[in-house]
Chain A
């Protein structure tokens, strides 16, 4: 892994040096920041995710660094919260139509017990690179690296027993490919390989290989219509148990722009997945057709139908669904949008555990621009799923509203309220929750180099749960004349689960930092 990272860094530097010319007008800049965190917390450290990663008091950052070279090469760097255990890094370099390279690295952890004895750490890193030797061809490649290690504490609902599960694995993946362009057409080929190395449970080591090919082309003589299609192959191998999951998939699609701002879409997907471990081969066939109509700046409507068949030789299910999506804009001041989709799945042959299923998902939202009074938006959404054969229903709804006021003279204000309602029923039991959440931030315009901000969140979950969570944030920034900034940020957290006596948390976190804007 280190070799790969070192290789990419060397490559990045080499490309930049090769592309560089002596330049008098290179320019750039960014912000350097050094910060210190004071934390005072008590209670169960596993319940407040926002404070999981604050375990190093001292951190440095280089934020929004950009450097433009006269030859068109650009460097970007965003290196945040670099400390002993944490970091969030992203660097990239690019030159238009020639190359781009980007790298990232991020670490975070998850705490599982009250005393912070059990926790897991995850590192996620990766990079991508593209080279365009000509306007007709782009070569690309990349890698991703995930590492997770530590002790995960599984707490059972009843009796109050716990089990420690140790994790220690890495997953690495690499990809390489090429894309060719000609007029309105393109052809893309990609190969991706990944390896999973489990150091705790070696027999679960596995790897995966993916090959993807896709092409898009305009129909000769009919430039309003475009055809697209492709083939995917994926093979996951679990060596120790000789188990394989193999998928072959082909797809085709077309979109046609018709007169009077009508459009039509059609898509077909066929996938065959073979699980060699259990010998089950499943075919999936998907057909979707839709038509749309747009009225310039006023609105749009799109309706469609989808049919899906899943067949594993023993059982076969078929689902039919309708799709609806519409929007309306009134004088660019009021914006209404709505979408809904349904799926009615029937078991045609054989029988499955959950049987037939009816599903509907919907969302309606309105946004109004009130000018001096700001923007107001309201959104209502929900989903309902019913499996009659097993007496199971899921009903989930939420409504949220936001008021946002943003003025250069006075500053900005945003307040959001959301209400969630979830109702789950089945033959054995049921579960309900109703959540109320309100959050707000206010940032007055800076005055004589002093900027202040305040924000807070209140969350309450009731019915079968009884949880209260509060966060309060206050911050101030003072800008010195020579480009220095002093920033202080205070956040208080309080968490209470009134049904579990050991799940409470109180934390006071103060972060002070000194920053300097610089230019090169």
Chain B
């Protein structure tokens, strides 16, 4: 019954969308007056030089170009500018705002307007200027402004502060960059099983699944947690090792150790959780993530007497 209603809802959405699409005229083709590149380069000497090693190199300067790219492809018709050379009568995509800011680029880079930045990714929905991160003339790899991705922190000033806290990921020390963990654009193919811990496991693979006994908080696919960020602040923290809370308090956010408080007169309540539950990220021998050497450390009293075991 529920499925039928759901299907009916979907059908309505599809019909409505199709109707609206059919009403709308197709996007107008990009039309520019084909001002010759040579005309532009007469004044803007060497402007082509910085484009030569990039995908934006001018078609007029190579044999058999597969894609027609000229100065006017990005800067629009230059007729008025030729008559009266001033900044006001030529398009400079780097200083545009709003929809225009990305429209100049997405005419060719359609993916960035459509799928690559799918969803609620802030960069697309806020329609920042592509030039906030990229430099078309003379940019390096991927035409980024700088390979250390310093341009991210220019806007994300609060995040820059996070990297100066007590423990932090070494971004300001230039050992990693923002792009080491963050994708350039959020894509539609979000991997539910790994997304929130995926970037972490690339470097911290020793703490990643599979274990025989998983700590479910680590696994984004589980019902209990949302990955490494459940316990760690990825940018910087007041506490050691990027932890959200120090010591036992972190564990107690989810675990109420009632037994520890009362059993044997509460003698274990004063100990650090990790002193016994050493394999916090997951264990190969203990369902309680206990230190495999624990039976030996306690001279066997607790474990050999039959009351406790690593898995019970």
Contact = CB atoms under 8 A, between A and B. Distances in A.
A292 interface: yes
B98 A298 contact: yes
Interface of B: 13, 17-18, 20-24, 26-27, 49, 52-57, 62, 66-67, 97-100, 110-111, 114-115, 118-120, 122, 125-127, 140-141, 147, 157-158, 160-161, 164-168, 170, 172-176, 188-194, 202-203, 205-206, 208-214, 216, 221-225, 238-240, 244-249, 252-257, 270-272, 274-275, 278, 284
A40 interface: no
A258 B147 contact: no
14 contacts: A49-B167, A124-B203, A155-B240, A157-B248, A232-B189, A253-B118, A269-B190, A278-B213, A297-B100, A337-B122, A339-B120, A424-B253, A426-B249, A429-B249
B252 A329 contact: no
B222 A259 contact: no
B67 A243 contact: no
A223 B27 contact: yes
Contacts of A304: 119-120
Contacts of A323: 120
A427 interface: yes
A265 interface: yes
A271 B193 contact: yes
A225 B113 CA distance: 11
Nearest to A283: B221
A490 interface: no
Given A96-B57, A184-B110, A296-B99, A224 B21 contact: yes
B98 A282 contact: no
Nearest to A69: B53
A461 B166 CA distance: 9
Contacts of B57: 72, 96
Contacts of A461: 166, 238
B66 A97 contact: yes
B272 A234 contact: no
B170 A284 contact: no
Given A68-B53, A427-B256, A435-B238, A238 B211 contact: yes
A111 to B, nearest CB: 12
Contacts of B189: 212, 214, 228, 230, 232, 251
Contact of A275 (B13, B20, B210): B210
A52 B169 CA distance: 12
A390 B211 CA distance: 26
A459 B165 contact: yes
Query: Which interface residue of B21, B161, B249 has the most chain A CB atoms within 10 A?
Result: B161
Contacts of B99: 261, 294, 296-297
A175 B149 CA distance: 24
Interface in A287-343: 288, 290, 292, 294, 296-298, 300, 302, 304, 310, 312, 315-317, 323, 325, 327, 329, 332, 337, 339, 341
A251 B120 contact: no
B206 A198 contact: yes
A416 B158 CA distance: 8
A453 interface: no
Interface stretch (A6-14, A73-81, A479-487, A507-515): A73-81
A304 B121 CA distance: 13
Interface string A227-247: 010101010111011011101
A477 interface: no
Given A426-B256, A437-B164, A337 B188 contact: no
Contacts of B271: 158-159
Contacts of B147: 78, 90
A426 B13 CA distance: 44
A304 B280 CA distance: 36
A418 B284 contact: no
A329 B98 CA distance: 8
Contact of A251 (B166, B188, B257): B188
Given A161-B275, A286-B192, A400-B157, 19 more contacts: A49-B170, A69-B53, A74-B52, A95-B53, A157-B247, A158-B272, A225-B21, A251-B189, A271-B192, A271-B193, A275-B209, A297-B97, A300-B126, A310-B222, A316-B223, A327-B126, A398-B158, A431-B245, A465-B239
A460 to B, nearest CB: 10
Nearest to B55: A96
A424 B244 contact: yes
Closest 4 CB pairs between A and B? A157-B247, A74-B53, A297-B98, A156-B272
Given A400-B157, A416-B157, A392 B254 contact: yes
A135 interface: yes
Interface string A151-183: 000111111010100010101010000000000
Contacts of A144: 202
Contacts of B216: 353
A247 B194 contact: yes
B157 A108 contact: no
Interface string A251-279: 10101111101001111010101010110
Contact of A228 (B23, B27, B115, B210): B115
A277 B211 contact: yes
A439 to B, nearest CB: 7
A379 interface: yes
